[in-house]
């Protein structure tokens, strides 16, 4: 069976060239992740992962290891399922991703460490009350989402973007919660939608905040080509 996920607008980088005529699979149902990849020249096959995403957060010594592990398990589940379904047409590359939001960046100064600022993990809100609680925590503060994606042979990375919330009045936050846009988003907001009204600036990859770190992903592909001459050539 023929495959080609590389679009005509894609840059002719070493990593992209290795993906030509390969079966590339996105292990996510997120339309945002697929659209980001399409914008950057890649149109993967979509096979949503069935991994239950129930890893115990408390078992990870480093906070960033949690989304990395979840993303890896998503990709592995899809890879195994597709190979079992058709051993003669296995995926060449499966992209798994997981986005989480933390209420504060890691302490960078002695003062921050002394004041005892603690990070809280924010995933999807469970209710409107929970959504408002998240936005109140983020309001007037800095947080960062982490998104991870494993590549070939389970290569992992995490990408972090700092998002600065404005000091929004409570009635704006309540109106946003009632709108419902953030109900199914990590952190309870969507930066590419009405949630942009709550934010004053972003440091880092905007696409990472939306749902997929496109620049870091394509850089990783080039690194894999540099490290392994046989990457995706078999």
Separation CA 167–CA 157 (nearest Å): 32
Q: Establish if 3 belongs to a structural domain.
A: no
Tokens (6 digits) for 135 = 């936005």
- pTM tops 0.85, yes or no: no
Predicted pLDDT at 148? 58
Q: 3-state class of 26 per DSSP?
A: strand
Cα first-last separation, the chain: 16
Please report the pLDDT score of residue 52 as a whole number: 84
**68 within some domain:** yes
Domain annotation covers residue 18: yes
Rounded CA gap, 67 and 229, in Å?
29
- 149/26 Cα distance (integer angstroms): 10
169: in domain: no
Q: Which residue, 157, 219, 212, 228, is CA-closest to 32?
A: 212
Spell out the per-residue pLDDT of the chain, length 234, in tens.
Answer: 789 999 999 999 999 999 999 999 999 999 999 999 999 999 999 999 999 877 777 777 777 777 888 888 899 999 999 999 999 999 999 999 888 888 766 544 444 444 455 667 788 889 999 999 888 877 765 655 556 555 446 788 888 899 999 999 999 999 999 999 999 998 999 999 999 999 999 999 999 999 899 999 999 999 988 988 888 876
Residue 185 domain flag: no
Contacts of 142 (CB under 8 A, 6+ apart): 104, 105, 162, 163, 164, 165
Q: What is the predicted pLDDT for the residue at 134?
A: 83
Domain with 27 in it:
14-105+118-123+139-160+205-227
* CATH number of the domain within which 70 lies: 3.90.950.10
Catalytic annotation present for 98: yes
Let me know if residue 192 belongs to a domain.
Answer: no
Q: Could you give the number of structural domains in the chain?
A: 1
In a domain, 19, yes or no: yes
Annotated catalytic residue, options 86, 92, 98, 167: 98
Residue 24, Cβ neighbours under 10 Å: how many?
A: 20
- Spatial separation of the C-alpha atoms in residues 56 and 106, rounded to whole Å: 21
Q: CA-based diameter of the chain, in Å? A: 59
Q: Which H or E run contains 202?
A: strand 199-203
The verdict on residue 133 lying in a domain is: no
């Amino acid at each position: 069976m023929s495959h080609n996920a590389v679009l005509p607008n894609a840059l002719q980088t070493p990593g992209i060239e290795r993906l030509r005529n390969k079966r590339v699979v996105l292990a996510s149902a997120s339309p945002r992740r697929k659209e980001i990849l399409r914008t950057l020249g890649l149109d993967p096959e979509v096979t949503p992962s069935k991994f239950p995403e129930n890893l115990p957060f408390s078992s990870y010594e480093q906070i960033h290891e949690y989304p990395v592990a979840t993303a890896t398990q998503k990709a592995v589940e899809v890879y195994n399922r597709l190979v079992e379904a058709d051993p003669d047409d296995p995926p060449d590359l499966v992209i798994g991703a997981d986005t989480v939001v933390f209420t504060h960046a890691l302490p960078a100064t002695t003062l921050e460490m002394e004041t005892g600022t603690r990070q809280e993990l924010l995933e999807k809100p469970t209710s409107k009350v929970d959504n408002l609680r998240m936005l109140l925590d983020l309001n007037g503060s800095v947080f960062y989402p982490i998104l991870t994606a494993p590549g070939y042979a389970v290569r992992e990375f995490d990408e972090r973007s700092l998002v600065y919330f404005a000091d929004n009045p409570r009635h704006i936050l309540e109106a946003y919660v009632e709108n419902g846009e953030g109900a199914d988003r990590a952190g309870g907001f969507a930066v590419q939608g009405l949630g942009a009204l709550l934010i004053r600036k972003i440091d880092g990859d905007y696409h990472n905040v939306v749902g997929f770190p496109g620049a870091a992903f394509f850089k990783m592909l080039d690194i894999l080509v540099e490290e392994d001459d046989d990457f995706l050539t078999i």
